[in-house]
Protein backbone atom coordinates (compact mmCIF):
# COMPACT_ATOMS: atom_id res chain seq x y z
CA UNK A 1 0.00 0.00 0.00
CA UNK A 2 3.03 2.24 0.33
CA UNK A 3 6.60 2.35 -0.97
CA UNK A 4 8.67 -0.77 -0.42
CA UNK A 5 11.21 1.27 1.54
CA UNK A 6 8.69 2.94 3.88
CA UNK A 7 9.95 2.46 7.43
CA UNK A 8 9.08 3.67 10.94
CA UNK A 9 11.76 3.88 13.62
CA UNK A 10 11.43 3.40 17.39
CA UNK A 11 10.23 6.99 17.74
CA UNK A 12 7.57 6.40 15.08
CA UNK A 13 9.37 8.66 12.59
CA UNK A 14 8.76 7.72 8.97
CA UNK A 15 11.37 7.43 6.25
CA UNK A 16 11.30 6.51 2.54
CA UNK A 17 14.34 5.48 0.54
CA UNK A 18 16.45 6.04 3.63
CA UNK A 19 15.34 9.68 3.96
CA UNK A 20 13.18 10.92 6.82
CA UNK A 21 9.95 12.45 5.58
CA UNK A 22 10.33 15.26 8.11
CA UNK A 23 13.63 16.22 6.50
CA UNK A 24 12.02 16.18 3.06
CA UNK A 25 9.21 18.45 4.24
CA UNK A 26 11.68 20.81 5.90
CA UNK A 27 13.87 21.11 2.79
CA UNK A 28 11.29 21.07 0.01
CA UNK A 29 8.10 22.26 1.71
CA UNK A 30 4.59 20.84 1.63
CA UNK A 31 2.53 19.64 -0.08
CA UNK A 32 5.25 17.47 -1.61
CA UNK A 33 5.15 14.52 -3.97
CA UNK A 34 7.78 11.91 -3.07
CA UNK A 35 8.66 9.02 -5.40
CA UNK A 36 10.62 5.97 -4.25
CA UNK A 37 13.09 4.74 -6.86
CA UNK A 38 13.41 1.23 -5.42
CA UNK A 39 9.66 0.58 -5.66
CA UNK A 40 9.45 1.81 -9.27
CA UNK A 41 12.41 -0.28 -10.33
CA UNK A 42 11.10 -3.42 -8.64
CA UNK A 43 7.64 -3.05 -10.22
CA UNK A 44 9.10 -2.45 -13.68
CA UNK A 45 11.43 -5.43 -13.41
CA UNK A 46 8.59 -7.64 -12.15
CA UNK A 47 6.57 -6.93 -15.30
CA UNK A 48 9.64 -7.57 -17.45
CA UNK A 49 10.10 -10.99 -15.80
CA UNK A 50 6.39 -11.73 -16.19
CA UNK A 51 6.60 -11.14 -19.93
CA UNK A 52 9.85 -13.09 -20.29
CA UNK A 53 8.20 -16.14 -18.74
CA UNK A 54 5.53 -16.26 -21.47
CA UNK A 55 8.12 -17.41 -24.04
CA UNK A 56 6.42 -15.50 -26.87
CA UNK A 57 7.42 -12.15 -28.40
CA UNK A 58 6.58 -9.40 -25.90
CA UNK A 59 7.00 -5.67 -25.32
CA UNK A 60 6.70 -3.67 -22.13
CA UNK A 61 5.38 -0.11 -22.55
CA UNK A 62 5.13 2.34 -19.64
CA UNK A 63 1.89 4.37 -19.69
CA UNK A 64 3.16 7.90 -19.23
CA UNK A 65 -0.19 9.44 -18.35
CA UNK A 66 0.12 7.91 -14.87
CA UNK A 67 3.19 10.01 -14.12
CA UNK A 68 5.51 11.71 -16.56
CA UNK A 69 8.10 14.43 -16.41
CA UNK A 70 11.42 14.82 -18.18
CA UNK A 71 13.32 13.09 -15.37
CA UNK A 72 10.87 10.15 -15.36
CA UNK A 73 11.41 9.65 -19.09
CA UNK A 74 15.16 9.82 -18.50
CA UNK A 75 14.89 7.28 -15.69
CA UNK A 76 13.02 4.87 -17.95
CA UNK A 77 15.47 5.00 -20.87
CA UNK A 78 18.10 2.54 -19.57
CA UNK A 79 15.43 -0.14 -19.11
CA UNK A 80 14.75 -0.11 -22.86
CA UNK A 81 10.97 -0.12 -22.43
CA UNK A 82 8.40 1.57 -24.62
CA UNK A 83 6.71 4.80 -23.56
CA UNK A 84 3.02 5.48 -24.14
CA UNK A 85 2.03 9.15 -24.58
CA UNK A 86 -1.45 10.61 -25.07
CA UNK A 87 -0.78 14.18 -26.18
CA UNK A 88 1.67 16.41 -27.96
CA UNK A 89 2.79 17.67 -24.54
CA UNK A 90 3.64 14.20 -23.30
CA UNK A 91 5.41 13.48 -26.59
CA UNK A 92 7.38 16.72 -26.26
CA UNK A 93 8.38 15.72 -22.71
CA UNK A 94 9.62 12.33 -23.89
CA UNK A 95 11.60 13.80 -26.78
CA UNK A 96 13.07 16.47 -24.48
CA UNK A 97 14.57 13.56 -22.53
CA UNK A 98 15.97 12.12 -25.81
CA UNK A 99 13.67 9.14 -25.62
CA UNK A 100 13.99 6.89 -28.67
CA UNK A 101 10.95 7.86 -30.78
CA UNK A 102 10.78 4.34 -32.21
CA UNK A 103 9.86 3.15 -28.70
CA UNK A 104 7.06 5.71 -28.29
CA UNK A 105 3.38 4.78 -28.71
CA UNK A 106 1.06 7.73 -29.38
CA UNK A 107 -2.41 7.24 -27.87
CA UNK A 108 -5.46 9.42 -27.29
CA UNK A 109 -9.00 9.60 -28.62
CA UNK A 110 -8.40 13.11 -30.01
CA UNK A 111 -5.13 13.88 -31.78
CA UNK A 112 -5.17 17.32 -33.42
CA UNK A 113 -3.58 17.52 -36.87
CA UNK A 114 -0.60 19.46 -35.49
CA UNK A 115 0.10 16.72 -32.94
CA UNK A 116 -0.21 13.95 -35.55
CA UNK A 117 2.22 15.87 -37.75
CA UNK A 118 4.61 16.26 -34.82
CA UNK A 119 4.46 12.54 -34.05
CA UNK A 120 5.00 11.51 -37.66
CA UNK A 121 7.93 13.90 -38.09
CA UNK A 122 9.48 12.56 -34.90
CA UNK A 123 9.11 8.98 -36.18
CA UNK A 124 7.10 7.50 -33.32
CA UNK A 125 6.96 3.73 -33.31
CA UNK A 126 3.19 3.37 -33.29
CA UNK A 127 0.07 5.50 -33.41
CA UNK A 128 -3.03 3.99 -31.84
CA UNK A 129 -6.00 4.89 -34.05
CA UNK A 130 -9.24 5.73 -32.30
CA UNK A 131 -11.71 6.57 -35.10
CA UNK A 132 -12.25 6.45 -38.86
CA UNK A 133 -11.88 10.22 -39.12
CA UNK A 134 -8.55 10.02 -37.29
CA UNK A 135 -7.44 7.26 -39.63
CA UNK A 136 -8.10 9.57 -42.58
CA UNK A 137 -6.22 12.40 -40.86
CA UNK A 138 -3.23 10.13 -40.33
CA UNK A 139 -3.28 9.18 -44.00
CA UNK A 140 -3.39 12.83 -45.06
CA UNK A 141 -0.58 13.91 -42.74
CA UNK A 142 1.60 10.92 -43.64
CA UNK A 143 1.05 11.55 -47.37
CA UNK A 144 1.99 15.23 -46.99
CA UNK A 145 5.22 14.25 -45.20
CA UNK A 146 6.00 11.37 -47.56
CA UNK A 147 6.14 8.79 -44.74
CA UNK A 148 4.22 5.69 -43.75
CA UNK A 149 2.39 5.71 -40.42
CA UNK A 150 2.67 2.57 -38.30
CA UNK A 151 -0.66 2.11 -36.54
CA UNK A 152 -2.64 -0.08 -34.18
CA UNK A 153 -6.44 -0.02 -34.25
CA UNK A 154 -7.93 0.50 -30.82
CA UNK A 155 -10.81 -1.93 -30.40
CA UNK A 156 -13.42 -2.02 -27.63
CA UNK A 157 -14.25 -5.69 -27.02
CA UNK A 158 -17.31 -5.20 -24.79
CA UNK A 159 -15.68 -6.34 -21.56
CA UNK A 160 -16.77 -4.94 -18.20
CA UNK A 161 -13.67 -4.75 -16.00
CA UNK A 162 -15.72 -4.13 -12.81
CA UNK A 163 -14.09 -0.78 -12.03
CA UNK A 164 -15.57 2.68 -11.46
CA UNK A 165 -17.76 3.76 -14.38
CA UNK A 166 -15.46 6.71 -15.09
CA UNK A 167 -12.45 4.44 -15.69
CA UNK A 168 -14.08 1.61 -17.66
CA UNK A 169 -13.06 1.77 -21.30
CA UNK A 170 -13.71 -1.67 -22.77
CA UNK A 171 -17.48 -1.55 -23.18
CA UNK A 172 -18.97 -1.24 -26.69
CA UNK A 173 -20.30 2.29 -26.10
CA UNK A 174 -17.03 3.68 -24.74
CA UNK A 175 -15.77 6.96 -26.20
CA UNK A 176 -12.55 5.12 -27.03
CA UNK A 177 -11.80 3.05 -30.12
CA UNK A 178 -13.80 0.94 -32.55
CA UNK A 179 -16.55 -1.18 -31.01
CA UNK A 180 -16.52 -4.86 -31.97
CA UNK A 181 -20.22 -4.76 -32.78
CA UNK A 182 -22.44 -3.46 -35.59
CA UNK A 183 -19.62 -3.95 -38.12
CA UNK A 184 -17.64 -0.93 -36.87
CA UNK A 185 -14.45 -2.90 -36.38
CA UNK A 186 -14.84 -4.51 -39.81
CA UNK A 187 -15.04 -1.10 -41.45
CA UNK A 188 -11.97 0.12 -39.58
CA UNK A 189 -9.68 -2.74 -40.58
CA UNK A 190 -10.75 -2.62 -44.23
CA UNK A 191 -10.10 1.09 -44.35
CA UNK A 192 -6.70 0.76 -42.68
CA UNK A 193 -5.60 -1.93 -45.11
CA UNK A 194 -6.62 0.19 -48.10
CA UNK A 195 -4.75 3.38 -47.20
CA UNK A 196 -1.42 3.76 -49.05
CA UNK A 197 0.44 5.65 -46.29
CA UNK A 198 -0.70 3.48 -43.37
CA UNK A 199 0.93 0.28 -42.13
CA UNK A 200 -1.47 -1.68 -39.94
CA UNK A 201 0.67 -3.41 -37.30
CA UNK A 202 -2.12 -4.90 -35.24
CA UNK A 203 -4.74 -4.29 -32.58
CA UNK A 204 -5.01 -2.65 -29.20
CA UNK A 205 -7.62 -2.89 -26.44
CA UNK A 206 -7.54 -1.28 -23.01
CA UNK A 207 -10.51 -2.31 -20.90
CA UNK A 208 -10.20 -0.11 -17.81
CA UNK A 209 -8.10 0.97 -14.85
CA UNK A 210 -7.44 -0.24 -11.32
CA UNK A 211 -8.55 -3.77 -12.24
CA UNK A 212 -8.22 -6.15 -9.29
CA UNK A 213 -9.12 -9.34 -11.16
CA UNK A 214 -7.03 -11.38 -13.59
CA UNK A 215 -9.79 -12.83 -15.78
CA UNK A 216 -10.66 -9.62 -17.70
CA UNK A 217 -7.16 -9.53 -19.20
CA UNK A 218 -7.54 -13.05 -20.58
CA UNK A 219 -11.00 -12.17 -21.90
CA UNK A 220 -9.51 -9.09 -23.56
CA UNK A 221 -6.80 -11.11 -25.33
CA UNK A 222 -9.20 -13.87 -26.37
CA UNK A 223 -11.66 -11.35 -27.83
CA UNK A 224 -8.91 -9.73 -29.89
CA UNK A 225 -7.72 -13.13 -31.11
CA UNK A 226 -11.20 -14.24 -32.11
CA UNK A 227 -11.75 -11.11 -34.18
CA UNK A 228 -8.26 -11.37 -35.63
CA UNK A 229 -9.08 -14.90 -36.81
CA UNK A 230 -12.32 -13.65 -38.37
CA UNK A 231 -10.50 -10.94 -40.30
CA UNK A 232 -7.72 -13.35 -41.28
CA UNK A 233 -10.27 -15.63 -42.92
CA UNK A 234 -12.00 -12.70 -44.64
CA UNK A 235 -9.08 -10.49 -45.58
CA UNK A 236 -5.93 -12.59 -45.20
CA UNK A 237 -4.52 -10.18 -42.57
CA UNK A 238 -2.88 -11.41 -39.35
CA UNK A 239 -1.61 -8.90 -36.74
CA UNK A 240 2.05 -8.45 -35.86
CA UNK A 241 1.13 -6.84 -32.51
CA UNK A 242 -1.57 -7.57 -29.95
CA UNK A 243 -1.60 -4.87 -27.28
CA UNK A 244 -3.91 -5.62 -24.33
CA UNK A 245 -3.30 -2.26 -22.65
CA UNK A 246 -2.85 -1.82 -18.92
CA UNK A 247 -5.13 -1.19 -15.95
CA UNK A 248 -3.41 -3.55 -13.51
CA UNK A 249 -4.62 -2.60 -10.03
CA UNK A 250 -2.62 -1.56 -6.97
CA UNK A 251 -3.27 -1.39 -3.23
CA UNK A 252 -4.94 1.83 -2.18
CA UNK A 253 -6.68 0.26 0.81
CA UNK A 254 -6.33 -2.85 2.95
CA UNK A 255 -9.14 -4.57 1.07
CA UNK A 256 -7.45 -4.12 -2.33
CA UNK A 257 -5.83 -7.36 -3.46
CA UNK A 258 -4.11 -7.18 -6.87
CA UNK A 259 -4.16 -10.61 -8.52
CA UNK A 260 -1.22 -12.88 -9.30
CA UNK A 261 -0.81 -12.21 -13.02
CA UNK A 262 1.53 -15.12 -13.82
CA UNK A 263 -1.18 -17.75 -14.41
CA UNK A 264 -3.29 -15.48 -16.61
CA UNK A 265 -0.32 -14.41 -18.71
CA UNK A 266 0.59 -18.06 -19.24
CA UNK A 267 -3.00 -18.60 -20.38
CA UNK A 268 -2.78 -15.60 -22.72
CA UNK A 269 0.44 -16.93 -24.23
CA UNK A 270 -1.12 -20.38 -24.68
CA UNK A 271 -4.18 -18.86 -26.37
CA UNK A 272 -1.99 -16.81 -28.71
CA UNK A 273 0.03 -19.84 -29.75
CA UNK A 274 -3.08 -21.98 -30.15
CA UNK A 275 -5.13 -19.45 -32.12
CA UNK A 276 -2.38 -18.23 -34.44
CA UNK A 277 -2.79 -19.84 -37.90
CA UNK A 278 -0.09 -22.37 -38.69
CA UNK A 279 1.22 -20.30 -41.59
CA UNK A 280 1.44 -17.10 -39.49
CA UNK A 281 3.66 -15.91 -36.65
CA UNK A 282 2.50 -15.48 -33.06
CA UNK A 283 1.91 -11.74 -32.55
CA UNK A 284 4.00 -9.68 -30.20
CA UNK A 285 2.14 -9.31 -26.90
CA UNK A 286 2.35 -5.74 -25.58
CA UNK A 287 1.19 -4.45 -22.20
CA UNK A 288 1.05 -0.87 -20.87
CA UNK A 289 1.39 -0.72 -17.07
CA UNK A 290 1.45 2.78 -15.59
CA UNK A 291 -0.30 2.98 -12.22
CA UNK A 292 1.13 -0.41 -11.26
CA UNK A 293 4.69 0.91 -11.75
CA UNK A 294 4.40 4.23 -9.90
CA UNK A 295 1.20 4.15 -7.84
CA UNK A 296 2.53 2.64 -4.62
CA UNK A 297 5.96 4.20 -5.17
CA UNK A 298 4.62 7.68 -4.43
CA UNK A 299 3.40 9.47 -1.32
CA UNK A 300 2.23 13.03 -0.72
CA UNK A 301 3.37 14.96 2.35
CA UNK A 302 1.00 17.53 3.89
CA UNK A 303 1.11 19.75 6.96
CA UNK A 304 -1.90 19.59 9.23
CA UNK A 305 -3.31 23.13 9.37
CA UNK A 306 -6.56 22.69 11.29
CA UNK A 307 -8.10 20.07 13.59
CA UNK A 308 -11.71 20.71 14.54
CA UNK A 309 -14.98 19.12 15.56
CA UNK A 310 -18.28 20.14 13.90
CA UNK A 311 -21.88 19.73 15.12
CA UNK A 312 -22.78 16.07 15.24
CA UNK A 313 -19.32 15.06 16.41
CA UNK A 314 -17.54 14.74 13.06
CA UNK A 315 -13.85 15.58 13.26
CA UNK A 316 -11.93 17.26 10.45
CA UNK A 317 -8.22 17.34 9.77
CA UNK A 318 -7.55 20.10 7.23
CA UNK A 319 -4.22 20.09 5.40
CA UNK A 320 -2.26 22.53 3.24
CA UNK A 321 -3.15 20.77 -0.03
CA UNK A 322 -6.18 19.02 -1.45
CA UNK A 323 -8.03 18.64 -4.72
CA UNK A 324 -5.51 20.76 -6.60
CA UNK A 325 -2.82 18.13 -6.02
CA UNK A 326 -5.16 15.11 -5.80
CA UNK A 327 -8.44 15.39 -7.70
CA UNK A 328 -9.13 11.65 -7.71
CA UNK A 329 -11.27 11.47 -4.52
CA UNK A 330 -13.55 14.25 -5.82
CA UNK A 331 -13.57 12.88 -9.38
CA UNK A 332 -14.35 9.22 -8.74
CA UNK A 333 -14.31 8.57 -5.01
CA UNK A 334 -10.78 7.19 -4.92
CA UNK A 335 -9.78 5.85 -1.50
CA UNK A 336 -6.47 6.56 0.24
CA UNK A 337 -4.80 5.71 3.53
CA UNK A 338 -2.49 7.92 5.56
CA UNK A 339 0.07 7.94 8.39
CA UNK A 340 1.05 10.67 10.84
CA UNK A 341 4.79 11.08 11.14
CA UNK A 342 6.03 10.59 14.69
CA UNK A 343 2.86 8.91 15.95
CA UNK A 344 2.35 5.21 16.62
CA UNK A 345 0.05 3.25 14.32
CA UNK A 346 -0.62 0.61 17.00
CA UNK A 347 -1.85 3.05 19.66
CA UNK A 348 -5.27 4.69 20.18
CA UNK A 349 -6.87 5.92 16.95
CA UNK A 350 -10.03 7.81 16.05
CA UNK A 351 -11.99 8.42 12.87
CA UNK A 352 -11.28 11.63 10.98
CA UNK A 353 -12.20 13.27 7.69
CA UNK A 354 -9.17 14.72 5.92
CA UNK A 355 -10.16 17.90 4.11
CA UNK A 356 -8.22 20.09 1.71
CA UNK A 357 -7.72 23.84 1.60
CA UNK A 358 -9.61 24.52 -1.63
CA UNK A 359 -12.89 26.48 -1.65
CA UNK A 360 -15.08 23.52 -2.54
CA UNK A 361 -17.24 21.39 -0.27
CA UNK A 362 -16.10 18.41 -2.32
CA UNK A 363 -12.45 18.99 -1.48
CA UNK A 364 -12.22 15.91 0.75
CA UNK A 365 -9.10 13.77 0.44
CA UNK A 366 -10.26 11.03 2.81
CA UNK A 367 -13.90 10.91 4.00
CA UNK A 368 -13.04 8.43 6.74
CA UNK A 369 -9.59 7.46 7.95
CA UNK A 370 -8.43 6.20 11.34
CA UNK A 371 -5.50 8.14 12.75
CA UNK A 372 -3.73 8.80 16.06
CA UNK A 373 -4.67 12.14 17.59
CA UNK A 374 -3.42 14.82 15.16
CA UNK A 375 -2.20 18.31 16.00
CA UNK A 376 -1.56 21.45 14.00
CA UNK A 377 1.85 21.20 12.36
CA UNK A 378 1.88 17.40 12.17
CA UNK A 379 3.11 15.82 8.95
CA UNK A 380 0.46 13.70 7.21
CA UNK A 381 1.77 11.11 4.75
CA UNK A 382 -0.81 10.01 2.18
CA UNK A 383 0.08 6.64 0.67
CA UNK A 384 -0.07 5.39 -2.92
CA UNK A 385 -0.28 8.78 -4.62
CA UNK A 386 2.35 8.12 -7.29
CA UNK A 387 -0.15 7.68 -10.14
CA UNK A 388 -2.38 10.44 -11.51
CA UNK A 389 -1.82 12.88 -8.65
CA UNK A 390 0.94 14.98 -10.20
CA UNK A 391 -0.45 14.25 -13.68
CA UNK A 392 -3.89 15.67 -12.84
CA UNK A 393 -2.75 18.53 -10.60
CA UNK A 394 -4.14 22.01 -11.24
CA UNK A 395 -3.79 25.63 -10.18
CA UNK A 396 -7.35 25.91 -8.91
CA UNK A 397 -7.71 28.84 -6.51
CA UNK A 398 -4.40 30.05 -7.96
CA UNK A 399 -2.43 27.72 -5.72
CA UNK A 400 0.99 26.63 -7.01
CA UNK A 401 1.51 22.94 -7.75
CA UNK A 402 3.86 20.93 -5.48
CA UNK A 403 7.38 19.82 -6.22
CA UNK A 404 8.28 16.23 -7.04
CA UNK A 405 11.34 14.61 -5.48
CA UNK A 406 12.87 11.16 -5.97
CA UNK A 407 14.39 9.34 -3.01
CA UNK A 408 17.02 6.62 -3.31
CA UNK A 409 19.93 5.39 -1.18
CA UNK A 410 19.40 7.98 1.51
CA UNK A 411 19.38 10.93 -0.89
CA UNK A 412 16.71 13.08 -2.52
CA UNK A 413 16.77 14.80 -5.90
CA UNK A 414 14.28 17.26 -7.36
CA UNK A 415 12.46 15.99 -10.44
CA UNK A 416 9.99 18.87 -10.70
CA UNK A 417 10.47 22.21 -8.98
CA UNK A 418 7.72 23.70 -6.85
CA UNK A 419 5.73 26.38 -8.62
CA UNK A 420 5.82 29.91 -7.23
CA UNK A 421 3.20 32.64 -7.12
CA UNK A 422 5.18 34.33 -9.89
CA UNK A 423 4.75 31.23 -12.05
CA UNK A 424 0.98 31.65 -11.76
CA UNK A 425 1.05 35.05 -13.51
CA UNK A 426 3.91 34.36 -15.92
CA UNK A 427 1.59 34.07 -18.93
CA UNK A 428 -0.95 36.66 -17.73
CA UNK A 429 -1.17 40.00 -19.50
CA UNK A 430 -2.11 43.26 -17.73
CA UNK A 431 -5.48 44.81 -18.29
CA UNK A 432 -5.61 47.46 -21.00
CA UNK A 433 -8.86 49.42 -21.18
CA UNK A 434 -10.31 49.79 -24.66
CA UNK A 435 -12.36 52.77 -23.54
CA UNK A 436 -13.31 54.67 -20.40
CA UNK A 437 -16.03 52.68 -18.61
CA UNK A 438 -19.23 54.28 -17.47
CA UNK A 439 -19.84 54.61 -13.76
CA UNK A 440 -21.78 51.73 -12.28
Q: What is the pLDDT of residues 403-430, one digit of tens each?
A: 999 999 999 999 999 999 999 999 999 9
Q: What angle do CA 155, 161, 162 make, to 5 degrees?
A: 150
Give the pLDDT of residue 161: 52
The residues annotated with a catalytic role in the active site are 359
For the cut 90, the answer to whether the pLDDT of residue 356 exceeds it is yes
More confident: 58 or 212: 58
Taking the C-alpha atoms of residue 394 and residue 71, their distance in angstroms, rounded to an integer, is: 20
How far, in Å, CA of 402 to CA of 278, rounded? 55
Q: According to the model, what pLDDT value does residue 165 have?
A: 42
How much is the pLDDT for 170? Answer: 40
Output DSSP code: residue 76: H
Q: Report yes or no: 251 and 292 within 8 Å, Cβ to Cβ.
A: no
Q: What is the pLDDT of residue 177?
A: 78
pLDDT of residue 236: 96
- pLDDT category at 207 given cuts 50, 70, 90 is confident
Q: Work out the average pLDDT over 62-83.
A: 98
Query: pLDDT for 136-174, tens place per residue?
Result: 999 999 999 999 999 999 998 877 655 434 333 444 455
Q: Is 129's pLDDT higher than 50?
A: yes
HSE (side-chain half, CA atoms, 13 Å) at 121? 11
Q: What is the pLDDT of residues 4-34, one digit of tens each?
A: 999 999 999 999 999 999 999 999 999 999 9
Q: Peptide bond preceding 31: is omega within 30 degrees of 0, i.e. cis?
A: yes
Q: What is the pLDDT of residue 180?
A: 79
Q: Find out whether 87 and 108 touch, Cβ atoms under 8 Å.
A: yes
The reported pLDDT for the residue numbered 439 is: 67
Cβ neighbour number for residue 400 with a 10 Å cutoff: 17
Residue 108: is its pLDDT beyond 60? yes
Instruction: Give the chain's mean pLDDT.
Output: 93
Provide the whole-model pTM. 0.94
Residues 6+ apart with CB under 8 A from 158: 170, 171, 172, 179, 180, 181, 223
Q: CA 384, CA 14: separation in Å to the nearest integer?
A: 15
The region of weakest confidence among 217-226, 323-332, 409-418 is: 217-226
Are the C-beta atoms of 273 and 362 separated by less than 8 Å?
Answer: no
Query: Would you say residue 316 has pLDDT above 90?
Result: yes
C-alpha distances (whole Å) from 325 to each of 30, 35, 276 are 11, 15, 46
Amino acid sequence: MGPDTLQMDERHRLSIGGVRVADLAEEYGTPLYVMDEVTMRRRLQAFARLLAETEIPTRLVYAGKAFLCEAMAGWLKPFGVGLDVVSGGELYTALAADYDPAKIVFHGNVKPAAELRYALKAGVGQIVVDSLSELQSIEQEAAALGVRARVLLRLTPGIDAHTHAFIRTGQFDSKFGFGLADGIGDEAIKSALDLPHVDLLGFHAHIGSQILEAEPFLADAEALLEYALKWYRQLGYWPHVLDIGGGFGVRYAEEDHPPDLRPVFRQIATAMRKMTPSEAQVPELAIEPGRSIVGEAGVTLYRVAVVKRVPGGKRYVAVDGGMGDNIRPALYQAVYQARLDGKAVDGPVSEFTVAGRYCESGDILMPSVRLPEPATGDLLVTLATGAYNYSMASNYNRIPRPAVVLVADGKASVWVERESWADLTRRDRPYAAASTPNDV
